Structure 1
Amino acid sequence: MAIILAGDRSGTGKTTLTLALLAALKNRRCAVQSFKVGPDYIDPMFHAAVTSRPCYNLDPILTSERYVQQSFRAHCTNANYAVIEGVMGLFDGATGTDDTASTAHVARLLGLPVLLAVDCARMSRSLAALVQGYRTFDARVNVAGVILNRVGSDRHLQLLRDALEAINMPIFGVFRREKDVQLPDRHLGLVPTGEVSGFEQIAERLAGLGEQCFDWGKLERLLASTALSHRERQEEEERRVRIAIARDSAFNFYYPDNLEALAAQGAELLNWSPLDDKDLPEADGLYFGGGFPEVFAARLSENRPMMTAVRQAIERGMPTYAECGGLMYLSQSLTDFAGKSWPMVGSIPQTVEMGGRLVLGYRKAIALNDGPLLKKGQPVIGHEFHRSAVVEKLRQPTYTAQRYWGAVEQPASEGYHQRNLHASYVHLHWGHRPDIAQNFIQQCEQAKALR
């Protein structure tokens, strides 16, 4: 029993509407599994905070079409309902010229109905033309109904109802202009849930809105028209190595699939905090995800015992994987938006500065050397999302990388590499690449044996 909640465009309010639906289902004591189309890290944090279950990304570029289907089926185990939040507008794909990796692409892969969320703030009868266009644009996509967001007066609502009745389009929810449910944002999107004060109260308010504003009769009939697949549980393997995962307010961009891939292949995962802990847990490998080290640069810099412990562990040969924010933390220094420079770990002999330019998009990359994750010459597809840049010319790059699509460009050097260190701005999803997790674990085993 699953649906996809899409938007007619970015900014239409689909994240808030998705959270309201998830919170209402959770309040009804339903086990609900959520998913997010695309490479985003932050929206899934909000999903997980509401459902108490990890939210999984469905991205056929970072993974594959087959993996999207497998991941959806596998992670719906023991769930009553599944809700997928779309990305951008329904047909907006990664290339801009087709709908590759769009919400519509995922809807076709999974064969699920779509509810289209529309910002109705500045329209009335034109809504029918817009919705009819979305319904007929691709006959393979089942736009089963709409959710009206930011509706004004009762008169406004009646005009919208009349317009949709003329094209026989069901309304599954009506949300008024709410001013007391505001999710704070910053330079890379929403502020992560761990930093939002009073999020429990926001979740309660969202649940209340979900109960009041969705048409539950229609919604339950639609959900009942789809079925969730289940899988056999596998026996847990004997733990082979211990991998320390940097996880706190500064480092929280992780795909659950990556962590589960490590655990499935025999790694014990140990969460620790570069902000608050004074020493590393006893481990055989280090994994630094992305996040917001620039926001917490002062606290990270002041925790000198931890920075020393990290630097010494890498110097001793501990296999280490660092993405984006992790690369920034391991660098010599980090200059924040105010222009103040903060000393960092220093394992990477380069400096990083925050800037106004947003680097965003999918990347094709090729490993330049053997490392803890990849062998020389191995290709990967990843995603970049940051406003910082390395100041110096790269000395020991990890990859040659270029845009995934668009005009042909000369591949550029990217990241920083040592025999035991893979650092890069390119985020990787390992779901369809079990070899990456296996390589990392093998490197950790070898380093453990040498110790």
Structure 2
Amino acid sequence: MITAALARLHRNAGRHVRVFKYGPDYLDPMVLERASGNPVYQLHPWMTGMAECRWRLAEAVRDADLVLVEGSMGLFDGDPSSADLAAATGLPVVPVIEAAGMGQTFGAVALGLDLYRDNVHLSGVIANRTGSVGHGRMLAEALPERMPLLGAVQRNEALHIPDRHLGLVQAGEVADLDLQLDAAAEVLREAGLEALPATVELVADPLPLPPRLLEGVRIAIARDSAFAFIYRANVELLAAMGAELVEFSPLADQALPECDALWLPGGYPELHARQFADNLPMLLAMRAHHAEGKPILAECGGLMACMEALVDGDGHAHRMLGLLPGRAVMAGKLTGLGLQSLATPHGELRGHTFHHSRLETELEPVARTVRNRTGTAGEAVYRQGSLTASYYHAYFPSAPAAAAALFRGTFFEETDHA
């Protein structure tokens, strides 16, 4: 929310603000887009590739007055970490440090972050959840002379946003979000965070245009409160490869749009399982699509929707599409997390997994992803007729030909003769 409020603060001041999110994340970008009024893309040296990171940043600074990159977890957490991106691109680093109940130790924490690596140094610090103006002054005095306290943000309800088991509540579900963002921006203004940082030059070579492998293919994309985990870059790549895209709601619509392929992305089907199960015309339409041998990609929540049943967090079973045998069961805890890749005949498709359910199925997977951190087997990939399904979320631009093959029904073929 500090990043979102900072974006809204400068947007309200009449500036053009671009925000990026480090690493795989669907929910934070929803809030950041509302805050900045501009599209938000992922940056990650491994998942998106460093060339794309550099290109997206260079494109943003063409017309932006301010570019913000929200990190992931702590500055040095992960491999690669947010610090790795900063070191590779020359982005200034500003940690947001929890300061509640902290005095001079705040300076020690900031100094430790500054000295931890030779190629990453802090250009300033933001203190979060301070108790008073005097508390902020104490924190500023504790910092090394070369390290400015850019702002001391006092505790305020405007900076709180609700969350659930997979992260933040979706932006569209937060009542009066724009009013809250404006209030949060005012909190940051009072903390002295309205000044622009020093100018940084960001340049990059243009990325090659993707091959037009989806000419004449019409893809229906499920998109509503149950199916919403979609990378903006994935959709734009499909369009750039020639696909015609149409969105629909499996919860509200009675018919499937005319299409050649279907994409059921991740989301929260467990929160809307009864409504999904009760929409029989839509279930029948998607079953007919599968019976006709047309490609379907089902990711995470989409995979859960393709099972015979879904058992929600209260233990209630709901009828699903029945395209895969077995059921998905909410586990009440994290059951899959981390960066993973999938080797295909069309290139290595990179992405991640993050879920709180488990599958109970006798169906044997046709492939498995590989965990980036350990090199061990990761998520199962299932194939049933024209359906490809997994808990794995793919970042399509990491292997455009593989993404195209998913929607042409040639994903497991050695060559694509289409």
TM-score above 0.5, yes or no: yes
Residue 361 of structure 1 corresponds to 338
Mapped contact 2:300–2:390 kept (Cα < 8 A): yes
Give matches, 1:264-413, under 5 Å: 264-358=240-334, 359-366=336-343, 374-375=344-345, 379-393=348-362, 395-406=363-374, 409=376, 411=377
Q: Secondary structure at the match of 2:383?
A: strand
Mapped contact 1:350–1:392 kept (Cα < 8 A): yes
Mapped contact 1:78–1:230 kept (Cα < 8 A): no
Mapped contact 1:396–1:418 kept (Cα < 8 A): no
Given the superposition, is the C-alpha separation of residues 240 and 81 from structure 1 closer, same or farther in structure 2, using an over 3 Å criterion? farther
Residue 149 of structure 1 corresponds to 128
Give, in whole Å, the separation in 1 of the partners of 2:315 and 2:387: 28
Q: How far is the alpha carbon of 1:63 from its aligned partner? A: 2.9
Residue 196 of structure 1 corresponds to 174
Mapped contact 1:248–1:273 kept (Cα < 8 A): yes
Given the superposition, is the C-alpha separation of residues 18 and 413 from structure 1 closer, same or farther in structure 2, using an over 3 Å criterion? closer
Mapped contact 1:291–1:325 kept (Cα < 8 A): yes
Question: Is 1:210–2:188 an aligned residue pair?
Answer: yes
Aligned match of 1:424 in 366, 369, 390? 390
Mapped contact 1:265–1:437 kept (Cα < 8 A): no
Residue 415 of structure 2 corresponds to none
Residue 257 of structure 1 corresponds to 233
Overall identity of the aligned pairs, in %: 35
Give, in whole Å, the separation in 2 of the partners of 1:229 and 1:33: 17
Instruction: String of CA shifts for 1:388-444, please: whole Å, max 9, x gaps.
Output: 111123x142422343223x65x3671321352211001111223221233245449
Mapped contact 1:398–1:413 kept (Cα < 8 A): no
Q: Secondary structure at the match of 1:417?
A: strand
Q: How far is the alpha carbon of 1:120 from its aligned partner? A: 0.6
Q: How far is the alpha carbon of 1:379 from its aligned partner? A: 4.3
Residue 103 of structure 2 corresponds to 124
Residue 47 of structure 1 corresponds to 32
Given the superposition, is the C-alpha separation of residues 327 and 240 from structure 1 closer, same or farther in structure 2, using an over 3 Å criterion? same
Q: Secondary structure at the match of 2:53?
A: helix
Give, in whole Å, the separation in 2 of the partners of 1:268 and 1:437: 15
Q: How far is the alpha carbon of 1:179 from its aligned partner? A: 2.5
Residue 9 of structure 1 corresponds to none
Instruction: String of CA shifts for 1:42-85, please: whole Å, max 9, x gaps.
Output: 11111112223221111222232223223333455543321100
Which runs of 5 or more structure 2 residues have no equivalent in the other structure? 411-418
Q: How far is the alpha carbon of 1:137 from its aligned partner? A: 1.2
Mapped contact 2:54–2:204 kept (Cα < 8 A): no
Q: How far is the alpha carbon of 1:313 from its aligned partner? A: 0.5
Q: Secondary structure at the match of 1:62?
A: helix
Mapped contact 2:265–2:301 kept (Cα < 8 A): yes
- Normalised to the residue count of structure 1, the TM-score between the two structures is 0.84
Aligned match of 2:81 in 94, 102, 108? 102
Equivalent residue pairs, number? 408
Mapped contact 2:298–2:389 kept (Cα < 8 A): yes
Give, in whole Å, the separation in 2 of the partners of 1:419 and 1:306: 19
Mapped contact 1:36–1:57 kept (Cα < 8 A): yes
Q: Secondary structure at the match of 1:87?
A: coil
Question: Is 1:163–2:131 an aligned residue pair?
Answer: no
Give, in whole Å, the separation in 2 of the partners of 1:252 and 1:129: 41
Q: How far is the alpha carbon of 1:169 from its aligned partner? A: 1.1
Q: How far is the alpha carbon of 1:228 from its aligned partner? A: 6.7
Mapped contact 1:250–1:275 kept (Cα < 8 A): yes
Residue 438 of structure 1 corresponds to 404
Given the superposition, is the C-alpha separation of residues 401 and 230 from structure 1 closer, same or farther in structure 2, using an over 3 Å criterion? closer
Which runs of 5 or more structure 1 residues have no equivalent in the other structure? 1-15, 94-99, 367-373, 445-451
User: What's the Cα RMSD here?
Assistant: 2.6
Give, in whole Å, the separation in 2 of the partners of 1:83 and 1:136: 23
Mapped contact 1:35–1:55 kept (Cα < 8 A): yes
Give, in whole Å, the separation in 1 of the partners of 2:240 and 2:178: 32
Given the superposition, is the C-alpha separation of residues 221 and 183 from structure 1 closer, same or farther in structure 2, using an over 3 Å criterion? closer
Q: How far is the alpha carbon of 1:226 from its aligned partner? A: 4.0
Given the superposition, is the C-alpha separation of residues 321 and 24 from structure 1 closer, same or farther in structure 2, using an over 3 Å criterion? same
Q: Secondary structure at the match of 1:322?
A: strand
Question: Is 1:139–2:118 an aligned residue pair?
Answer: yes
Instruction: String of CA shifts for 1:101-121, please: whole Å, max 9, x gaps.
Output: 211011112111011111110
**What amino acid does structure 1 have at the position aligned with 2:367?**
Y
Instruction: String of CA shifts for 1:233-276, please: whole Å, max 9, x gaps.
Output: 99xx8963221111110111111111111011111211110111
**What amino acid does structure 2 have at the position aligned with 1:245?**
I
Mapped contact 1:112–1:226 kept (Cα < 8 A): no
Mapped contact 1:23–1:51 kept (Cα < 8 A): yes
Q: Secondary structure at the match of 2:331?
A: strand
**What amino acid does structure 2 have at the position aligned with 1:212?**
E
Question: Is 1:183–2:161 an aligned residue pair?
Answer: yes
Given the superposition, is the C-alpha separation of residues 91 and 413 from structure 1 closer, same or farther in structure 2, using an over 3 Å criterion? closer
Given the superposition, is the C-alpha separation of residues 337 and 316 from structure 1 closer, same or farther in structure 2, using an over 3 Å criterion? same
Instruction: String of CA shifts for 1:303-329, please: whole Å, max 9, x gaps.
Output: 111111111111111111111000011
Residue 415 of structure 1 corresponds to 381
Residue 223 of structure 2 corresponds to 247
